[in-house]
Structure 1
Amino acid sequence: MLKNDTFLRALLRQPVDYTPVWLMRQAGRYLPEYCATRKQAGSFLQLCKSKELATEVTLQPLERFPLDAAILFSDILTVPDAMGLGLYFAEGEGPKFERPLRDEAAIKALVVPDMRELRYVFDAVSSIRTALDNRVPLIGFSGSPFTLACYMIEGGGSDDFRRVKTMMYDRPDLLHHILEINARTVTEYLNTQIECGAQAVQIFDTWGGALAYGKYQEFSLAYMAKIVAGLKREHDGQRIPVILFTKGGGQWLEDLAATGCDALGLDWTVNLADARRRVGDKVALQGNFDPNALFAQPAAIELEVKRLLADYGNGSGHVFNLGHGISQFTNPEHVAALVQTVHAHSKTYK
């Protein structure tokens, strides 16, 4: 039995004694111990592919802060890498692919990869669960089909998504093929993470908010809904909550809540009270502290935490988190102030 299941109970809108908290990218470059382990690994990809080191960095933030969940240390781009696109990281430029999807033949040749290509991820999940010793739940994750497609088509990050959007308008059939393969892959990938020990899963739709109304529903939401419908929602007698997070997707909360997921991640542009009113009792809400507010002094951080807790109000169904990933330049002492304030002040709302 879990020693601390507050996070899972909040996702399922069950009674809790306080609001649980974890942080997107909580194992990362803002922690000096992470930087040391990454240097030891030799590269980011080698860090991801070593189950021992991935386990070590997953647990590092839990040693510093009383967080209520751990999240698998990996990367969303392990999936297209397993499809043969050749992931690499260019210094100062972020992730790149050697063989992006630029022609019809390559796109039509795309298939769901053998999950054995991702064995290192599943080995890390099992290793982390063992190391956690039921301390807190473990979150597994994947990128959304559309977000993965953005990297697969653009060949890396993009400011305008020119290539993927050109394909969307000129050859929607090709983009739908990519998205269908991605959705089937992500479903199998997350289900295998669940079988190996993940106790909740999150789908990161980082770039869905770049889509126009209607296009979002067709090219992002529909494929996330397919994944939700295909996921194992029970494992070893326990409910496995599913969180959907579309950055920039605050205008589509009702559509997201209708997918059958358990919780919605919110970025910092969304008002928690309004979001709670809009989704009613369909889903829990996760978020949504502005990551840049962590650069402020602890007193200001405390005020902002209290404001967000008041916005959500009384009752369960809220998991405190950032509106996106934590910055590498964040002072760990400011994170400690955030976590302490969430835990102490949220009790008044329970």
Structure 2
Amino acid sequence: MAETFAVPKLKNEATWKDVQWPPMKNELLLRAAKGEETERAPVWVMRQAGRYLPEFMEVRKHHSFFECCQTPSIASELTLQPIDRYPALDASIIFCDILVVPQALGMTVLMEPSKGPVLPEPLVDPTHLARLKNTVDIEKELGYVFEAVTLTRKGLDGRVPLIGFCGAPWTLMAYMVEGGGSKTFEKSKAWLYKYPEESKALLRRVADVCADLLVGQVLAGAQMLQVFDSWAGELTSHHFQTFALPPLLYLTKKVRHCLSKLGHPGVAITLFPKGVHAPSSLRLLSNPAETGYDTLGLDWMLDPVEVRELVGNKVNLQGNFDPVILYGGKEGIEAEVKRVSERWIKAGGGWIANLGHGITPNVKPEDMGWFLDCVHKYSRR
């Protein structure tokens, strides 16, 4: 039986066709996402708008983290900061946080300086699922994200494409059950063993909100999407395939169905399943026609040549410099960019250069700039 998907009610669903966006001056990312072997790899960095930038910290002196996320003008300003600073960047990603989805479902999420994200009332057992909203008015709860996307797309003035994103259902479920980050994930993983059916129902529920969030971002102006499964590698291969993968596939099916129903041509979607190294799982992610994911993001523990041999040429790849490369000094950065770029060029196929996870707070802005310059130099085919 074919699945049916409800198209979210969005303010911009009927007007996106009439928006006149600035013409694109740099489409390298969009070309690579279609599988083209571009003259050099487009490069962007996860968390490129963040605490390593002094201009970011200046804004944060006056606004809380979620105030920045939920105020479109501030979110847009923060998104544009690295683009203004680094002409070598080939993409922009909207400033937001994956935990806006649990917030939309009715959970409280705090960002504490010493702990990071904290959910003070986690889901301890399935009886707590009653706390979550049965239906989410995506425009009411997350319309600020869409407004920020539109402001940013206009502010970019065609310099680079804009990426929208969400967290993956399993990663979000882990936060919702653990009450924050975790080293052991004993509470969230225990759910999979003790409450398998309830876990699957929760994952589907989260996936529905994620899909609506992604659809809204595309209609608002996002030109590409990424799904962050930050905790995918905490699962066994069996549990990834049983619990995490089905909602990931459901998510893309719903996104592509809704965009098609609205007459939108659709966009490329990247999946970043950090820590997923099992050959069986990677093979399951190798065919975009089956998964809906055009690009597969790799963390820094994987070799691109080996992954390309495993997954074939249908899926594009993104990654995967060790984030700590940015502490290596100019000579160290250049040597490692050269080495890793050679592996990527040997791997062939569509390649989008990135770190294997997000940039960390103590990176010097000038070292980030040097890294980008080195990628431009050594990623040429």
1:337 partnered with 2:370:
yes
Structure 1 partner of 2:282: 253
1:267 aligned partner, one-letter code? D
Structure 2 partner of 1:44: 65
CA distance in 2, matches of 1:57, 1:260: 30
Structure 2 partner of 1:302: 334
Match of 2:271, SS?
strand
TM-score, length of structure 2 as denominator length = 0.88
1:49 aligned partner, one-letter code? Q
Q: Contact 2:37–2:351 at 8 Å: present in 1 too?
A: no
CA distance in 1, matches of 2:148, 2:355: 25
2:367 aligned partner, one-letter code? H
Q: Equivalent of 1:94, from 94, 116, 123?
A: 116
Shift, 1:40, TM fit:
2.3
CA distance in 1, matches of 2:265, 2:106: 35
Q: Contact 1:112–1:181 at 8 Å: present in 2 too?
A: no
1:264 partnered with 2:264:
no
1:127 partnered with 2:148:
no
1:18 partnered with 2:18:
no
Match of 1:250, SS?
coil
1:277 partnered with 2:309:
yes
Q: Contact 1:201–1:242 at 8 Å: present in 2 too?
A: yes
1:5 partnered with 2:5:
no
Stretch moving more, 335-344 or 253-262: 253-262
Stretch moving more, 155-164 or 308-317: 308-317
Shift, 1:343, TM fit:
1.0
Aligned length: 347
Q: Equivalent of 2:268, from 241, 257, 261?
A: 241
Match of 1:84, SS?
coil
Q: Contact 2:286–2:312 at 8 Å: present in 1 too?
A: no
Structure 2 partner of 1:293: 325
Change (3 A) 1:182 1:112: farther
Match of 2:38, SS?
coil
Q: Equivalent of 1:222, from 234, 243, 246?
A: 246
2:269 aligned partner, one-letter code? V
Q: Contact 1:19–1:316 at 8 Å: present in 2 too?
A: no
Shift, 1:112, TM fit:
4.0
Structure 2 partner of 1:82: 104
1:256 aligned partner, one-letter code? L
Q: Contact 1:22–1:321 at 8 Å: present in 2 too?
A: yes
What do the CA deviations read for 1:230-285 (whole angstroms, capped 9, x no partner)? 22367886551000011101223211223231000000000011111222111110
1:71 partnered with 2:97:
no
2:104 aligned partner, one-letter code? A
Shift, 1:316, TM fit:
4.7
Shift, 1:295, TM fit:
0.5
Structure 1 partner of 2:8: none
Change (3 A) 1:95 1:71: same
Match of 1:141, SS?
strand
1:60 aligned partner, one-letter code? Q
Match of 1:223, SS?
helix
Change (3 A) 1:237 1:192: closer
Shift, 1:104, TM fit:
2.4
Match of 1:313, SS?
helix
Structure 1 partner of 2:345: 313
Change (3 A) 1:2 1:316: farther
Shift, 1:17, TM fit:
2.2
CA distance in 1, matches of 2:252, 2:121: 29
CA distance in 1, matches of 2:35, 2:204: 32
CA distance in 2, matches of 1:165, 1:250: 19
Stretches (4+) displaced over 6 A: 233-237
CA distance in 1, matches of 2:264, 2:337: 35
Output the aligned Cα RMSD: 1.6
1:333 aligned partner, one-letter code? E
Q: Contact 1:221–1:256 at 8 Å: present in 2 too?
A: no
Q: Percent identity?
A: 41
What do the CA deviations read for 1:286-331 (whole angstroms, capped 9, x no partner)? 0000001110111111111111111012655000000000010111
Shift, 1:334, TM fit:
1.1
CA distance in 1, matches of 2:124, 2:379: 50
- Mapping for residues 180-195 of structure 1, pairs under 5 Å: 180-195=204-219
